[in-house]
Amino acid sequence: MISTEKLTLLLEKTQEIAKEAGAFIRRERRHFNPERVEHKGVNDLVSYVDKEAEKIIVNKLSQIFPEAGFITEEGTNTTLAEEFNWVIDPLDGTTNFIHGVPIYSVSIALMERDEVILGVVYEVNLHECFYAMKGGGAFCNDTRIRVSVAKTLSESLIATGFPYNNFDLIDKYLAALKSIMKSSHGARRFGSAAVDLCYVAAGRVEGFFEYNLNSYDVAAGTLIVEEAGGKVTDFSGGRDFVFGREILSTNEKIHEEILANLKTAWA
């Protein structure tokens, strides 16, 4: 069990670390060479910027909380601890970054066993730092944020992420997307799941759904949504959304309406 005082201090330090990594990413984008991009798999891109940003983050986090282990996207440190583990995506939205589309972020979460207790998402281009700790509310740049008050899907704007390398469920996904698009103000694809979640938390969109995601894509953002008054589940309405590779996040009021669409499509 970690004290509130220590968790508060860790949250402050984690914000500083996310911003430091973000500043590095921003500098590198000014003279980025696309020829230095690597392929981890089909349409699964990575660059030296991802890797170097992760090294910065892991090094700094190791100094402020040395007893914690790590779950990292680029494998800088994969040593798991029994009680506390950092979950890190150093550059969520790599494809956007490579193409010069200005929506990408640094995402850092701290888990106590199977529960996220701290989350920080730093959107690099807008200099927006979203953060939360368990039981402490959600914030963006020191301003408290809350989810939207929209009561129905027909009043809502929904974010999603398109399949890009796993197309096994694409027909089910497209069926769900079609239903949601016809019933809402529309759908948006920003390209960073961490940002999508924070936009739900800030009331900019009412919901977000995607499948085939990893823990480091969503861990921080899920806590931020819940601390902003929102709801997060998997597509069956359960709690297996950090490691379960599917997620639905909403302002809570429209959750069951979207969930019904997803259950029908995924049947």
Say which range, 28-37, 134-143, 167-176, has the weakest mean pLDDT: 28-37
Residue 44 shares a structural domain with residue 173: no
Indicate the annotated binding residues for Mg(2+): 73, 89, 91-92, 217
CA 128/CA 131 separation, integer angstroms: 10
Mean pLDDT, rounded, for 251-266: 95
Residue 168 shares a structural domain with residue 255: yes
Q: Are the C-beta atoms of 42 and 158 separated by less than 8 Å?
A: no
Q: DSSP character for 205?
A: S
Mean pLDDT across the chain: 94
Residue 17 dihedral angles phi and psi, to the nearest 5°: -65, -45
Residue 183 shares a structural domain with residue 103: no
The number of domains in the chain is: 2
DSSP string, 156-199: -EEEE---SS--TTHHHHHHHHHHHHHHSSEEE--S-HHHHHHH
- Asked whether the predicted pLDDT for residue 127 surpasses 50, the reply is yes
Smallest CA-to-CA distance from 191 within 216, 160, 234 is with 160
CA distances from 91 to 61, 113, 217 (A): 16, 24, 9
Please give the residue range of the domain that contains residue 259: 153-265
Boundary of a domain, candidates 105, 120, 144: 144
**CA 260 to centroid of chain Cα atoms:** 23
Residue 114 shares a structural domain with residue 165: no
Percent of the chain with pLDDT over 90: 85
Residue 248 shares a structural domain with residue 139: no
What per-residue confidence (pLDDT) applies to 185? Answer: 97
Give the full edge-to-edge strand order of the sheet including 207-211. 186-188, 157-160, 207-211, 246-250, 231-233
Looking only at Cα atoms, what is the longest distance across the chain? 50
Indicate the annotated binding residues: 73, 89, 91-92, 217
- Asked whether the predicted pLDDT for residue 43 surpasses 70, the reply is no
Could you identify the residue written with the tokens 């950090």? 242
Q: What share of the chain is helix, strand, coil (3-state, %, to 5)?
A: 40, 25, 35
Provide the 3-class DSSP secondary structure of residue 225.
helix
Q: Are the C-beta atoms of 127 and 177 separated by less than 8 Å?
A: no
Boundary of a domain, candidates 100, 122, 144: 144
Residues 195-235: tens digit of each pLDDT: 999 999 999 999 999 999 999 999 999 999 999 999 999 99
**pTM score of the predicted model:** 0.95
Q: Are the C-beta atoms of 139 and 224 separated by less than 8 Å?
A: no
Residues 144-171: tens digit of each pLDDT: 999 999 999 999 999 999 987 778 889 9
Residue 17 shares a structural domain with residue 119: yes
Mean pLDDT, rounded, for 28-39: 79
Q: Are the C-beta atoms of 123 and 227 separated by less than 8 Å?
A: no
CATH classification of the domain holding 207: 3.40.190.80
Residues 99-116: tens digit of each pLDDT: 999 999 999 999 999 999
